[in-house]
Amino acid sequence: MRLRTLTYSYPDQSGHFGPYGGIYMAETLIPAVEELRREYLRYRDDPEFKAEFAYELKHYVGRPSPIYHAKRLSEHLGGAQIYLKREDLNHTGAHKVNNAIGQALLAKRMGKKRVIAETGAGMHGVATATVAARFGMECIVYMGADDIQRQAPNVFRMKLLGATVVPVESGSKTLKDACNEAIRDWVTNVETTFYIFGTAAGPHPYPMMVRDFQCVIGNEAKVQMPELIGRQPDAVIACVGGGSNAIGLFHPYIEETSVAIIGVEAGGHGVATGKHAAPLTGDAKVGVLHGNKVYLMQDENGQIIETHSISAGLDYPGVGPEHCLLKDMGRAQYVAANDDEALAAFDALCRYEGIIPALESSHALAHAMKIAPGMAKDKVLLVNLSGRGDKDMNTVARIKGITL
């Protein structure tokens, strides 16, 4: 018998997920996020908007993305069956494009011809550059100078697609600093510019809007799993940086309380060392950054501390507000996978399944590989393979001591 007792409806009208979320922005941008909220709510259920979004996802992105049974890997582990939601097969190679298309369609309706974005691993930057080319918009991507080093192929891709990539030299020179710089651009060019934010965080309506666009992942999975195995999986697992691929998979399953929800953060050198990017697992205090109140890695004086992760896409001190709420509710469990565990999972998927995963997604896979051996063979874990690993060749080669 399946119990369905949970009803869930967040955010509230003011953009809060319980105590989290909100619109913590400088005054200049408040009217801009208010306009965005109004316009998004106007088009969210508009049949024409929905039809255009669905068309682009099908014909441009190549959706639905398949679910693949990783049989050899599952056999090797000797326990639960691992299934992969293949977001890596999307056009541009990751889940990021789902959201970028949704926001670009909204930008088009709002008459904005200039789009900006922040990027960490470069996947959101590539997705934004791609849709900007597709819809004929000017595109500026802010990227931390350190991330430009470790994700050089994606920088070149963005430039090929006609985007201007601006290196950010301030702070830790990673994703959070790219966010700061994108926000500064938005403050300055607010009337002409649409900020295509890459994750389910930031000021309202972004956490809600990005989630809605990414929910295509979980909505598809809920149809695909019964077709494949006659039922829903026992657990859905996804990596969490800001948490957009995760919330896209998780959200449609929140009220399905028979399905366990597991988010995997970047454990870096190990949560106990302090050198990680796991605010939910690492007992970070609640704080305010980039427009929302969330669990946030900070020192005792409220200064944001530098994070550590092998994957640029997870290297962020905060996390989306909905994940914070799901943690507090106990509806989702959050754990961490360390750099070396993610690398081992990366290798395993290459060797056992012929799939090169992104280092971000390798974190989700690492946790599945950790728990699968202790589970019965008829249990099923659905892992979101949020992106492909082509962009990580330089990073992995360097770790293995290989010069390309």
Partner 1 sequence: MNRIQATLDNLKAQGRKALIPFITAGDPALDKTVPLMHGLVEAGADIIELGVPFSDPMADGPTIQRASERALKNGMSLRGVLEMVAEFRKTDAATPVVLMGYGNPIEAMGWETFASRCAEVGVDGALTVDFPPEESHEAFEHLQRHDIAPIFLLAPTTDEARIERVAKLARGYVYYVSLKGVTGAGNLDLAAIADKMPQLRKHIRLPIGVGFGIRDGETARKIADIADAVVIGSRIVQEIEHSAPEAVVANVKHFVAGVRAALDK
Active site residues: 96, 118, 386
Torsion, CA 85, CA 90, CA 94, CA 100, rounded to 10 = -120
- Residues 147-176 close enough to bind partner 1 by CB under 8 A: 170-171, 176
| Interface stretch with partner 1, choices 81-89, 113-121, 280-288, 370-378 (CB under 8 A) | 280-288
At a CB cut-off of 8 Å and minimum separation 6, what does 52 contact?
Answer: 105
Q: Which residue of 18, 24, 110, 270 would you call a contact of partner 1, by CB under 8 A?
A: 24
Residue 298 beta carbon to partner 1: minimum distance, rounded to whole angstroms: 6
Can you read off the two tokens belonging to residue 199?
Answer: 């994750």
For residues 54 and 64, what is the distance between their CA atoms, to the nearest angstrom?
A: 10
- Residues 305-344 close enough to bind partner 1 by CB under 8 A: 305
Number of helical H runs and strand E runs in the chain: 15, 14
**235: which strand partners?**
260, 381
Residue 303 beta carbon to partner 1: minimum distance, rounded to whole angstroms: 4
Residue 277 interacting with partner 1 (CB under 8 A): no
Residue 29 beta carbon to partner 1: minimum distance, rounded to whole angstroms: 8
Task: Choose between 305 and 350: whose C-beta lies nearer to partner 1.
Answer: 305
Letters for 177-196 (x = contact with partner 1 by CB under 8 A, - = none) are: x-xx--xx--xxxxx-----
Residue 183 CA: distances (Å) to CA of 20, 29, 189: 20, 9, 10
Residue 289 interacting with partner 1 (CB under 8 A): yes
What is the DSSP pairing of strand 235-239 with strand 114-119? unpaired
Task: Choose between 93 and 241: whose C-beta lies nearer to partner 1.
Answer: 241
Q: Which residue of 298, 362, 384, 386 would you call a contact of partner 1, by CB under 8 A?
A: 298
Q: For the chain, percent helix, then strand, then coil, each to nearest 5?
A: 45, 20, 35
Residue 283 interacting with partner 1 (CB under 8 A): no
DSSP code per residue over 124-183 = HHHHHHHHHHHHT-EEEEEEEHHHHHHTHHHHHHHHHTTPEEEEE-STTSSHHHHHHHHH
Residue 181 beta carbon to partner 1: minimum distance, rounded to whole angstroms: 9
Can you read off the two tokens belonging to residue 105?
Answer: 């369609």
Task: Choose between 48 and 191: whose C-beta lies nearer to partner 1.
Answer: 191
Q: Which residue of 215, 229, 260, 288 would you call a contact of partner 1, by CB under 8 A?
A: 288
Task: Choose between 31 and 274: whose C-beta lies nearer to partner 1.
Answer: 31
Residues for the chain: how many in total?
404
The footprint of partner 1 (CB under 8 A) covers 14, 22-32, 170-171, 176-177, 179-180, 183-184, 187-191, 285-291, 293, 296, 298, 300-305
